Amino acid sequence: MKTYLVGGAVRDRLLGLPPGDRDWVVVGATQAEMEAQGFRAVGRDFPVFLHPQSNEEYALARTERKSGRGYRGFVVDADPSVTLEEDLQRRDFTVNAIAQDPDGTLVDPYGGVADTHARVLRHVGPAFSEDPLRVLRAARFMARFAPLGFTVAPDTMALMRAMVASGELDTLVPERVWQELRRALGSAQPSAFLSTLHECGALATVLPEVDALYGVPQRAEFHPEVDTGLHQQMVSDMAARLATGDAVIGFAALVHDLGKALTPADVLPRHIGHEHAGVKPVLALCERLKVPAEHRELAVMACREHLNVHRLPELRDATVLELLTRCDAFRRPERISQLATVCEADKRGRLGSTEAEYPQGRELVRLHEAALAVSARDVAREGLNGPEVGEAMRKARVEAIHRARQT
């Protein structure tokens, strides 16, 4: 019975990244032997155990054989005779197929160390094509590692295209797609997730509403990048820069312009009313992927209101209050700073604008704070009934916004 450190912990150490969770593989043991040593079995689909002291995960070395369609269609063999090399061979990428024995020696049968140094994401072997989830994992790893200079190996990209063409990605359940998307949006470069999936054809399968943006032109005086898909990539990266690790803001930024894919060809490159047209596809995407309510609500708000925030200086005081009210800003005050960040990502996610100022965002937050400071006590007068109190509150908030604009 031998134990090895495997996977991301080994890879990240080679990349000089902060250590994360550690995973271990055990060779030459049975489930009964693990439990006899105090390990607690937690794996549902294959034998995984928690260490009795550290609570770290230990998995028996195993092989997997394809037995059906989809990412669950596998037969697992965790017999004690399974070798470390056989266990590493079933893994997705060479950089994840490196093990470290207790004395620190690396076991690298598939060239993962060289690919780590070369910054290449390469599949371990042909079994990669048996699991459609690995296409999304490749894109998600690129969202994390593209800033380090990683690229997808050409033969891996070709294999991913073949997997898309086979229809295997149609078997992915919404929860797994959302899980990979959410993690990508919380990474350093979400554009690499989008571009990787778009390049292999998978984006049209898992996020067709986003894929439809590629090739749609915009007015060059506002969008020097012209292509809406490229603009979306830039917006997603700017959102990751402004709100690092925040997938709620990242998702709203991702879908804020979906309405541009619905603009009639004879109107292009203008996109009149795209902010309202986009609400329907945003809701459809959220419904299909079972997106959490917090993400969905901000996404719909950003889609509907981003142009209003851009032209905030032009809005009347009462119109500003109407915008805040539509956003439920007095019961959910945190939404306004989130909306301001999404709108700033949209404005700065354009060629030549990445370092531009966005005073509208700060002003929206400031006007919201002024309106939020008005309380019912400020307008309470003897004899006012419910509707009259509400109208008095509205007028007081409009006046507070007006005064704030004068300072």
Asked whether residue 309 is domain-assigned, the answer is no
d(CA 76, CA 5): 21
Helix (H, G, I), strand (E, B) or coil at 77: strand
Cα distance between residue 135 and residue 155, in whole Å: 13
Q: How many structural domains comprise the chain? A: 1
Res. 313: pLDDT tops 60: yes
Closest by alpha carbon to 201, among 152, 166, 154? 166
Residue 312 lies in a domain: no
Per-residue pLDDT at 21 exceeds 80: yes
User: Helix, strand or coil for residue 99?
Assistant: strand
pLDDT of residue 392: 86
How confident is the model over 174-232, as pLDDT tens digits? 999 999 999 999 999 999 999 999 999 999 999 999 999 999 999 999 999 999 999 99
Helix (H, G, I), strand (E, B) or coil at 297: helix
Residue 117 has pLDDT above 80, yes or no: yes
Residue 21 lies in a domain: yes
Locate 312 and state its tokens: 């905030």
- 396 within domain boundaries: no
- Does residue 308 or residue 67 have the better pLDDT? 308
**In which domain, by residue range, is 57 found?**
1-110
Q: Is residue 58 assigned to a domain? A: yes
Q: Give the pLDDT score at 383.
A: 59
Instruction: Let me know if residue 1 belongs to a domain.
Output: yes
Q: Does residue 373 lie in a domain region?
A: no
User: Is residue 102 assigned to a domain?
Assistant: yes
Tell me what pLDDT residue 67 has.
54
pTM confidence score: 0.91
Is the pLDDT reported for residue 44 higher than 80?
Answer: no
* Mean pLDDT in residue range 24-46: 87
CATH of the domain at 30: 3.30.460.10
Per-residue pLDDT, 20 = 80
